[in-house]
Amino acid sequence: MLTNEDRKLLELISTDYRLSTDELSIQTGLSKEYVEERIKQWEEEKIIVQYNPLINWERTGEPIVTALIDVKVLPQRGYGFDKVAKRLQKFPEIKAVYLMSGGYDLSILIEGKTMQEVALFVAEKLAPLEHIQSTATHFILRRYKQDGVELLGEEEAPERLVISP
């Protein structure tokens, strides 16, 4: 369990990882040494996994296609879902693998340059795998919001009076 201060620090890092330890220390009121120590600990424990900016590739004009694949797995005695998931995550094209409740077992996120590339990957590399019973591929057509950020048409910045009491 995180202390209140640790939670505030971690949340601050998650909103902007570019903040220096000085800035983090000023804004949280925690000492610089404490902040550095915590970050190091969290990195070692893989609580902080990676520092990645959220990039909207579609805006670059580069071709990029993302698909969410619903995968049904034939769990076999001793095999289970974990082993299948571990096998799948080795593919660099597969960006995310989740075990799901509901009508299918695994949700996979794949990125490629074209729909055809993704579809061929599913057909040739994914579907034929042992223990994969069926796949259903859904292509993302438009992203409206990701990681808590609205990507299209932001709300207008509010116009405040320049000076108010």
Partner 1 sequence: MKQYLSPVAAKLPPSGIRKFFDLVSTMKNVISLGVGEPDFITPWTVRESGIFSLEQGQTMYTSNSGIFELREALTRNMSKNFGVEYNPHDEVLVTVGASEAVDLVMRALVGPGDAVLIPDPSYVSYAPCATLAGAEVHYIPTRAEEGFRLRVEDLEQAYTPNAKLLVLSYPNNPTGAIMTREDYLPIAKFVSEHDLIVLSDEIYSDLTYDGTHTAFASLPLMKNRTLHVSGFSKSYAMTGWRVGYVAGHSDLIQALTRIHQYTMLCAPITAQVAALEALRSAEQSMRDMVGTYDRRRRMMVHGFRKMGLSCFEPLGAFYVFPDISATGLTSEEFAEQLLREENVAVVPGTAFGPSGEGHIRCSYAYSTEQIQEALNRMERFVQKRL
Please say which residue, 124 or 159, places its beta carbon nearer to partner 1. 159
Contacts for 73 with CB less than 8 Å, ≥ 6 apart: 81, 84, 105, 106, 131, 132, 133
Report, in Å, the least distance between residue 158 CB and partner 1: 6
Report, in Å, the least distance between residue 13 CB and partner 1: 12
Q: What are phi and psi of 107, to 5 degrees?
A: -110, 130
Q: Please select the residue that binds partner 1; options are 49, 55, 141, 161, rule is CB under 8 A.
A: 161
Report, in Å, the least distance between residue 154 CB and partner 1: 11
Please say which residue, 142 or 160, places its beta carbon nearer to partner 1. 160
Please say which residue, 60 or 164, places its beta carbon nearer to partner 1. 164
Q: Please select the residue that binds partner 1; options are 3, 50, 52, 164, rule is CB under 8 A.
A: 164
> Which parts of 11-30 interact with partner 1 (CB under 8 A)?
12, 23, 26-29
> Which parts of 28-47 interact with partner 1 (CB under 8 A)?
28-29
Per the DSSP assignment, residues forming a β-bridge with 97 are 108
Q: Are 97 and 108 in contact (CB under 8 A)?
A: yes
Report, in Å, the least distance between residue 144 CB and partner 1: 15
Measure the CA angle with vertex 154, ends 151 and 159; round to 5°.
160
Residue with tokens 């769990």, as numbered in its chain: 75
Phi-psi region of 35 (alpha: psi -120 to 50; beta: other; left: phi over 0): alpha
Q: Are 144 and 56 in contact (CB under 8 A)?
A: no
Report, in Å, the least distance between residue 162 CB and partner 1: 5
Residues of this chain that interact with partner 1 (CB under 8 A) are: 8, 12, 23, 26-29, 155, 158, 160-165
